[in-house]
Structure 1
Amino acid sequence: MELSKHLVAALNLITFILSIPILGAGIWLASNHHTDCVRFLQGPVIAIGVFMLLISIAGFVGAYLRITWLLWVYLLVMFLLIVLLFCFTVFSFAVTNKGAGEALSGKGYEDYRLGDYSTWLQKRVRSSENWNHIRSCVVDAHVCDSLKVYKLASDFYRAELSSVQSGCCKPPTACNFLFINATYWGRPLTEDADPDCHRYSYVQSELCFDCDSCKAGIVDKVRHDWRKVATVNIVIFFLLIIVYSAGCHSFHRAQEEGTYTRYGKGII
């Protein structure tokens, strides 16, 4: 009987430990320089981590105090958590499955097009309310300042820019703008059909922050970060299934042995 009690408690301790990587992933997203600007993504990850941590504590307490109803609640909520984690992970991969930078001949960086990414992510950054916050956050982060070290076009073209720098700090390569310095480009005499070519501004606080390429750069960064978190979630999901199955079996055995009673005074 005591073995069942300790086994259920140990399983909940494992669940508690498993919640740490998920919570840590959410905190990592929140502290990541650019994904901090896109708060609609990191919230669900942190919520799942906190939720999992709390129910593991409830299961641990229920096991040691032998409170049947608390363990029933724990098993029910754990089942819902597994379903939620599965749905969230599938959704994460679905919305981050499309999209990638366009490799450029002779360039160390890539160009980004918003239309290459999932419709859901496009809608998030096309929303005026969302984008005003994201744009302001990225501008305040001074993501383009580090590019000012490139004084020569040859050096700049070899630079490995982040997706945010490539999309927001310069006009798209297709515009054929003349390099003057990394954040100041001369317009060609011919007009280009790409709307981003007209959105590019010489004002250093604006540059291409209103361009679709900037939105695409943000989405690409978020896409890579979110897929890392989704990969962690897959591992946690299968471990949770194992822990949950073992927990159900142990709890069933404990009930048959009379280890738990309704109000927490077990048979010793």
Structure 2
Amino acid sequence: MAFFSATAGLTAGEPENVHVLPTPPSLEHFQALFEKSPFTRTLNLSDTLVLTGVAQLDGKPVATLIDTEDGQSIAISETPNERGWKMVEFTGLNDLEVAVAAIAFESGEVVRIRYDRERIKSTAQRLKFKSQARAQQAAAKARAQSSGGGPAHGVPQERVAMLKKIDTRELPKGYNPGAGRNAEESHKLHQSYVDRRMGGMSPQQKGAVGQLWQQKVAVDPNMKNRGASFVRIMEHVAEHVPK
């Protein structure tokens, strides 16, 4: 029977503590990963940033961007800002429509950001809706407190029952905001569907949608998905309220 040993190849006189396994790596081997981890890098920033303006300060361009995810305004110049971002190139200084700002992130990645009027408009609209939702929720909370915790919305019970029934409707197949890659795209898909559907309604139907929506907000200010609730109301009106 043959036996194999890790020291079988040693010749006489060689020490038996010779390393036959690889030396384990030290922490220094991973220093680059510690400093620039691929798991903490923000991905697709160019998809969420839009150029909104540019000015000159001491003869050098200073660009402003908007983050379409949260609406934050960000100033960028040749000097790194608090995020570690800086502008490395700017073209089209005299025409914002064709301007391009090349932004270097702290990770070293460089992306080119452009002006987009429609994306800016869409972001402002989406943030306005969020602000209105917060105001409606605060108003409903104040009404509930003033009424001792009881229902203070003033909506008739038969209408409350109707709204609950509408909430059980299936969403239409053509409505799929979940296909958006981010909040901005999801909002665009939602708004595009709503605009198209409302565009085919009569003034009477539009008025009915508005009335039902106001009552829905009063009854359920903390609804989980406001967009889906609005679409369900809109579809209900399209089916049951004549033009």
TM-score (norm 2): 0.22
- Indicate the structure with greater helix content: 1
- Indicate the structure with greater strand content: 2
In our comparison, the structure showing a higher alpha carbon Rg is 2
TM-score (norm 1): 0.21
